Structure 1
Amino acid sequence: MENKPLFQSNQINRGNRNLGRLILQLRRLERQPQTFGNAGSLTPSEIHTIEAIGFDGGVLMSELSARLGVTKGAITQIVARLEAKALVTRSPHPSDLRASVIALTEKGREAFTAHEEVHLQFYDELRSQLSDQEIEIFETCIEKLNDFLQK
């Protein structure tokens, strides 16, 4: 086994620990329902489905499944919950009777906007604690991490 300088070894261990802590924090956040606007309590999968549907118009169930990287069965269950909460509507595709188009209701658009605001506030707070150079490095690292995880 190759001997690495102690400093480099400590940096690697620190990076591993911090990445592990970040993953645990993200998992913890992904389990906690939150309230967005007048939508009531939404699970992370519900609000991320609303985010994936988007503010503009509707999306096919199959496209929604692909955007979120989950099965069509999982999307069907989440959409059913969102329909019950009056956050989305499901309608037949105009030219393909087998397909369904999912769109946000007014209440769903409010949740979408409130969720976007939470993200903006979080990022503004983070940016207030970092220098311009640190922000640039952070954004580059996040892009590279996302690219790596999609492999």
Structure 2
Amino acid sequence: MDDQLAVTRKMMMQFIRMNKKFQKFEKNPIEFGDGQKLYPSEIHILDAVGSGVANNVTVLSQKFGITKGAVSQVVNKLHEKQLIKKEKIEGNAKEVKLTLTSHGRNAFKIQDELHKNFENEFFNYFKNLEQDKVDSYLEIMDTIDLFMDKVLNDQKPKKK
């Protein structure tokens, strides 16, 4: 039992360490060759819109698991940087369709190349893993995801 507890603690510490590194990474802007810097949160939104995964705030919010307000802030920054166009949808006063500007498409292409290079490193490692190890990894990550949801929900103030 003590060995299992030690392994669990080691896994938790490794997850926390990786999470801290990811948080640090998210705070560092990346230059896109034309002097313009984009933060990873902006790049994620740009990628989702550019790849056709999402074209409005609601879908982006659901995809990334963050509030519509947070998505709107990033979309507005990308709009100010002239990377994203916001267009009203006829017949729907609330919904705004998001598309990339020509400048946004250029940034998306550069980002897409960087992303592919980054993914290739992971792909080259994961392609040689046995399926049961991949399944175990996915199961562990799902469990951590559910655990974090529970922790976050437990921290919300209870309604009276």
Normalised by the shorter chain, which TM-score bucket? 0.7 to 0.9
Of the structure 1 ranges 116-125 and 89-98, higher mean CA displacement relative to structure 2 is found in 116-125
Of the structure 1 ranges 85-94 and 47-56, higher mean CA displacement relative to structure 2 is found in 47-56
Q: Tell me if the contact between 2:87 and 2:98 (Cα under 8 Å) persists in the aligned partners.
A: yes
Tell me the equivalent position of 1:48: 44
* Number of aligned residue pairs: 147
Pick closer, same or farther for the CA change 1:99–1:114 going to 2, 3 Å.
same
Q: What are the within-5 Å matches in structure 2 for residues 25-104 of structure 1? A: 25-36=21-32, 38=34, 40-56=36-52, 59-104=55-100
Larger RCO (CA under 8 A, 6+ residues apart): 1
Identity, in percent, stands at 26
Structure 2, unaligned stretches of length 5 or more?
150-160
TM-score w.r.t. length of structure 1:
0.75
TM-score w.r.t. length of structure 2:
0.71
Q: 2:125 & 2:65 partners in 1: Cα distance? A: 33
Q: What RMSD, in angstroms, separates the aligned Cα atoms of the two structures?
A: 3.0
* Deviation for aligned residue 1:146: 4.2
Q: 1:50 & 1:25 partners in 2: Cα distance? A: 22
Q: 2:58 & 2:28 partners in 1: Cα distance? A: 27
2:101 equivalent to 1:105: yes
* Deviation for aligned residue 1:44: 1.8
* Deviation for aligned residue 1:102: 1.0
